[in-house]
Chains A and B, each alone.
Chain A
Amino acid sequence: MEFCLFLGCNTPAVRPDVERAIRATMEELGVDLIDTDNYVCCPAFGSFPSTDEESWLATSGWNLSLAEEKQRDILVQCGSCYSSLRMGREHLMHDKKMQKRINELLEPTGRSVQGGSKIRHVTEVLYREITPAKIAEKVTHSLEGLHGIVQYPCHTLFPSEVVGFEDSPREPKGMRELVEALGATVDSYSLERQCCGGAGGFMKSTPEQAIQFAKNKFDAILEETKADFIAVSCITCLMHMENVQNTINKQIGEEKYKIPVFDYNQLLALCMGKDPKEVSAITNMPRDAIHDHIAKVAA
């Protein structure tokens, strides 16, 4: 299995340890990742998709053409990149007139977009292609004894008609089964499927309410689960769910919210015995307890 890896901006710029974890784990699971040379912004929904269709789809088309040249599908972790690229491709495929116009724009760059490459989320490939059973076989450092909760990336659930790799978007199972494959107990809670609220302009335009929105979720986690960690698979969920806990702690003047948040591939990498200094090095929320637990169980 071979994919063009589309890293977006936050992962390589701010959290390259997540990139390291993705590369290290996927390779060991038999998934080869090719760099998408000269890729550009997906584009983020707050940029060209908010100005006009041509600049949006020309930018999508540029990215899609890079994978089409290599005749590979695109592998993405970031929820926003996944959704933007997928929607861009869909618009181009359903609107032949627009596709023609975008190809006119791409032509002087030596590129074209035909739709040959699909957009795949890393959890889809792990869940559907690799499968939790095979992942469990690769675990040398189990999460046994730990409780976790999962945060589903919204962009991989909705709209299910076109995303659709879960049997039901209302009862998604992929992330849960993937975390269970690592030996952890996954707890359920009432606000499990509430969005993290970190993407787009919600936090910027109305921070007080956005923080309260997140606080409701974290209160439910504390009250209803024994979560030692949160597993996500979207760079925005990862960064926001860490940052917002620190923000709330500052507001209330105590360290009440301090659940470490991991990208799934980081947990997977740790469970495959990879060095935390490479695959789980950058964080705003101490992870030592989890790193130590994994080392202790393995010993």
Chain B
Amino acid sequence: MDLQTEAVKDLWKDVDRLGDLLHCFNCSTCLSGCPASYGDPPLLVRNLARKVLYGLEEELFEEDTPWACVSCSKCEEMCPMDVKPFELILHIRQWQSTNDETRVPPSITEIYRRGYTQAVATNDELRAELGLKPLPTINKNEEQLKLFQEMLMKTPVVAANDYMFG
């Protein structure tokens, strides 16, 4: 992408098309109780909101902190302006991985390949010991897995990075 040195006034439209963010008045309530705000560097949702609103595209592009979020959604509970800070974090990640393929999480290739991020249904012996039947998972059903993959192939991230899904 073409990074600009000056502020990009409409950056918020690229990041958060819903515009919930425009209601943020920088009160920092989103930080109270945020586990990742204890990190180093800390995840400071309020600062991310400012970067988006001020159009600081380059700075936002380099931010690793949105990926430290634990998804607990306490910020959504606390925010008095209904900005939906957790959704903002997801939107920033989406904006980053759409504009920078190195941000695309490798876990999506696992989901594409076998339906899950973990090796589900490869432990039938252990399951039997515990009195459990094998699970009817998609990695045991070629036809369904193919339909799932064909569906994903039409979505933006898979279509744009198809070399990852060979």
Contact = CB atoms under 8 A, between A and B. Distances in A.
Contact of A206 (B39, B94, B116, B151): B39
Given A109-B148, A159-B73, A55 B155 contact: yes
A32 to B, nearest CB: 15
Interface stretch (B7-15, B21-29, B47-55, B131-139): B131-139
A158 B73 contact: yes
Nearest to A37: B136
Contacts of A48: 108, 111, 155, 157
A285 interface: no
Contacts of A208: 40
A204 to B, nearest CB: 8
Given A39-B137, A49-B90, A154-B74, A16 B130 contact: yes
A38 to B, nearest CB: 4
Interface residues of B, number: 58
B139 to A, nearest CB: 9
Interface stretch (A7-15, A116-124, A134-142, A254-262): A7-15
Nearest to A9: B118
A102 to B, nearest CB: 10
Given A14-B118, A209-B40, A50 B152 contact: no
A155 B73 contact: yes
30 contacts: A12-B135, A13-B121, A17-B130, A40-B111, A41-B115, A46-B67, A50-B105, A51-B93, A51-B94, A51-B97, A51-B157, A52-B155, A52-B157, A54-B155, A59-B152, A105-B154, A105-B155, A109-B151, A154-B72, A154-B73, A157-B77, A158-B72, A158-B77, A195-B35, A197-B70, A200-B70, A201-B67, A205-B39, A210-B39, A278-B131
Interface of A: 7, 9-10, 12-14, 16-17, 19-20, 23, 35, 37-41, 43-55, 58-59, 62, 80, 83, 105-106, 108-110, 154-155, 157-160, 169, 194-195, 197-202, 205-206, 208-210, 212-213, 278-279, 281
